[in-house]
Chain A
Amino acid sequence: MKFWRAIAVAALIAAAPVVLAGEIPPEMRRSGYSFMGPETRAMQDDDASNPGMLFVLDGQALWTKKSGSADKACVDCHGDARSSMKGVAVRYPAFDKTQGRPVTLDQRINLCRADHQQAKPLAYESRDLLALSAFVAHQSRGVPIAAGDDPQLRPFVELGRDLFNQREGQLNLACTNCHDDNFDRRLAGAPVTQGQPTGYPLYRLEWQTLGSLERRLRSCMTGVRAQAYDYGAPELVALELYLMSRARGLPIETPAVRP
C-alpha cells in the first residue's frame, strides 16, 4: 500500500508544471510590468508622466558635458548615443578583459571615466551615475536582453545561479523560493513577480527616485534579514549577471516605473 502511495506522490510531482523544478521557460517569462496595476502601467507608458524620463534628460545633458582632466565628454568618443549605445545595455554585466571579471553598466561608466576622462568615479546610486546609466540603457528600449552569452562569463553566471538558489538570512529564504516558485501569488498584498530585471535603473514609487538593480537586490536581502552585499561586490555583480541571463529575450523598458 505504502509502495503505491509513493508512486502516486511521485506521479503528482512529475505532472506538476516544470516551472516548479527550476528556471522559468522563455515563453513564460514576464516583466514586472505585467504584475502592476493599470495606473502604474499608464505612468510608465507615457514619457511625459514617467518620472524616470527626468533622469534620462539629465543623462542626456551629462553625455555631452566635458569632465575630468582629459577634458572629454562621453560624446567625444562615443558620438550620438542613439546609434552608438543602442543594444549596449542588453548585454551588461559584460566581461572586462583587463579586470578579468564581469562589470555592470555603472562600473563600465566609472571605468570609462577613469581610463578616458581621467575623472573621479561617480558614487553608486548618485544622481549623475543613475542618470548616465538610465540614458545609456534607455537607448536599448525594446531590444531583447542578451546578457551572459560570452563563454568567459560562464563561471560568474554559475556563481550567480548558486547565490540565487542559496537560502540566507533569518527568514532563511532564497531568491528562487519567491521568484521561481511563487510568482503570481501575493506577499502581504503585493504581487510576487518573477524578478526579471527589464527596466533598470528604474523609478520606484516607494523610493521616490531612480534606483539600480543592486539597490533592489540589497533591499530584498534586507527583507529576508540577511546582511546585504556592498555595492559593486562580486557577489552582487554575479547575481545581476545571472538575473540578466535568466531574463534573456525580454525587452528592455528603461526607465521602468515600479510600485
Chain B
Amino acid sequence: MAALINVPTKAKRGEIIEIRTLTSHIMETGFRHAAAGDLVPRDIITSFTCRYNGSEVFRADLFPAIAANPYLSFFTVAKESGKFEFEWIGDNGYASTASASITVE
C-alpha cells in the first residue's frame, strides 16, 4: 500500500528530528453495519514499528477508533547515518513496509 514518509535527509549528530508517516488503510472499525444489516468485519492496522539501523525507536498499537489512513509523527535523536524502516501490521494478515535514509553529519 502507498505510504508517505517524511524523514529529514540531513541532520546534525545529536539533533532531535521529527518523523512523520502516513499510510493507506481503511481502518474499518468492526462496529458498523452494511445496508443489509450485517456487521462489516473489523479490518484495522494493529501495530506500527519504526527501526533505526535495526534497533526499534518507536512502536505504537492502533485501535478501532483511529481514523482511516493513519498519520503518526514522533521524534528521535539523529545518532548516525543510516536507514529508518517502518512496518505496519494489521488484521487479515496485513503487512506493509517502507524505508527512508538519513545522513548524519
A residues contacting B by CB (< 8 A) are 47-49, 51, 53-55, 57-58, 61, 205, 208-209
B residues contacting A by CB (< 8 A) are 2-6, 20, 22-24, 26-27, 67-69, 71
User: Which of B2, B5, B24, B26 has its CB near the most chain A CB atoms (within 10 A)?
Assistant: B2
Contact, CB under 8 Å: A58 / B2: yes
Q: Which one of B4, B22, B68 lies within 8 Å of A208 (CB-CB)?
A: B68
Name the B residues within 8 Å of A53 (CB-CB): 4, 22
- Nearest A residue to B69 via CB reads A51
Contact, CB under 8 Å: A208 / B67: yes
Contact, CB under 8 Å: A49 / B71: yes
Contact, CB under 8 Å: B23 / A54: yes
A57 to B69, CA, bound (A): 14
List 23 A-B residue pairs with CB atoms under 8 Å apart, sorted by A's residue number: A47-B4, A48-B6, A48-B20, A48-B22, A49-B20, A49-B71, A51-B22, A51-B68, A51-B69, A51-B71, A53-B22, A54-B2, A54-B3, A54-B4, A54-B22, A54-B23, A54-B69, A55-B2, A58-B24, A61-B2, A205-B67, A208-B68, A208-B69
Asked, given contacts A49-B71, A209-B68, whether A54 binds B24 with beta carbons under 8 Å apart, the answer is yes
- Nearest A residue to B28 via CB reads A208
Name the A residues within 8 Å of B24 (CB-CB): 54, 58
In the assembled complex, the CB of B70 is this many whole angstroms from the nearest CB of chain A, namely 9
Name the B residues within 8 Å of A61 (CB-CB): 2
Name the B residues within 8 Å of A48 (CB-CB): 4-6, 20, 22
- Nearest A residue to B3 via CB reads A54
Name the B residues within 8 Å of A49 (CB-CB): 4, 20, 22, 71
In the assembled complex, the CB of A61 is this many whole angstroms from the nearest CB of chain B, namely 8
A209 to B97, CA, bound (A): 21
A58 to B69, CA, bound (A): 13
Contact, CB under 8 Å: A57 / B2: yes
In the assembled complex, the CB of B40 is this many whole angstroms from the nearest CB of chain A, namely 13
